Structure 1
Amino acid sequence: MYSYDVKVLPKNTSLWGGVGIEKAISSNSLLICRNDELGVSLKLFTKNQDDGAVPFGTLAPGETYIFRLNEVTLIGAKTTDDVSDSMVRCTIVCPQSN
């Protein structure tokens, strides 16, 4: 398990991956994203190796979502307004199979 914090801005901000990544990983890893309770709502998007950014939905302050990292090259977010920012706690976990 590995955790890190990302300050999400009104512009596209990477939570995992990057725009220059061309090959997705094949694994059962998960990315847990928790938006700070004192933050603002975030617009989430994903990108895979075949498509551009795909809108994913909105994460409100205090909410958490779990992404599967399989076949994704980027998970990103931006604030829903043009002036605020919000901290997101990201945790990568690799579930063990028995």
Structure 2
Amino acid sequence: MYSYDVKVLPENTSLWGGAGITKPISGNALLICRNDELGVPLNLFTQNRDDLEIPFGTLAPGETYIFRLNEITLVGAKTTDDVSDSVVRCTIVCPQSS
């Protein structure tokens, strides 16, 4: 398990991965994203190996979502307004298969 914080701005901000990555990771890794309770709503998106940005929905302050990382190359977020920022706690876990 590995955790880190990302300050999300009113512009596309990477929570995991990168725009230049073309090969998804193999395995069953998960990314847990929790928007700070004192933050602002965030528009989430993912990107796949074909560089297609896919809108994912809105994460409100205090909410958490879990992404499977095996088919995507980037998880990103952007604040829903043009002036605020928010901190997202990201945790990567790799569940053991039985």
Corresponding residue number in structure 2 for 1:11: 11
30-39 vs 47-56, which moves further: 47-56
- Structure 2: give runs of 5+ residues left out of the alignment: none
What is the root-mean-square deviation in Å for CA atoms of aligned residues?
A: 0.6
- Residue deviations 1:49-90 (CA, integer Å, cap 9, x gap): 024211000000000000000111000000000000000000
The equivalent residue for 1:76 is: 76
Residues of 1 paired with 2:33 and 2:50: CA distance?
Answer: 24
Segments of 4+ moved more than 2 angstroms: none
How much has 1:27 moved relative to structure 2? 1.2
Q: Which residue of 2 aligns with 1:57?
A: 57
* Sequence identity percentage: 83
Matched with 2:37 is 37
User: What residue is the counterpart of 1:21 in the other structure?
Assistant: 21
Q: TM-score, normalised by structure 1?
A: 0.98
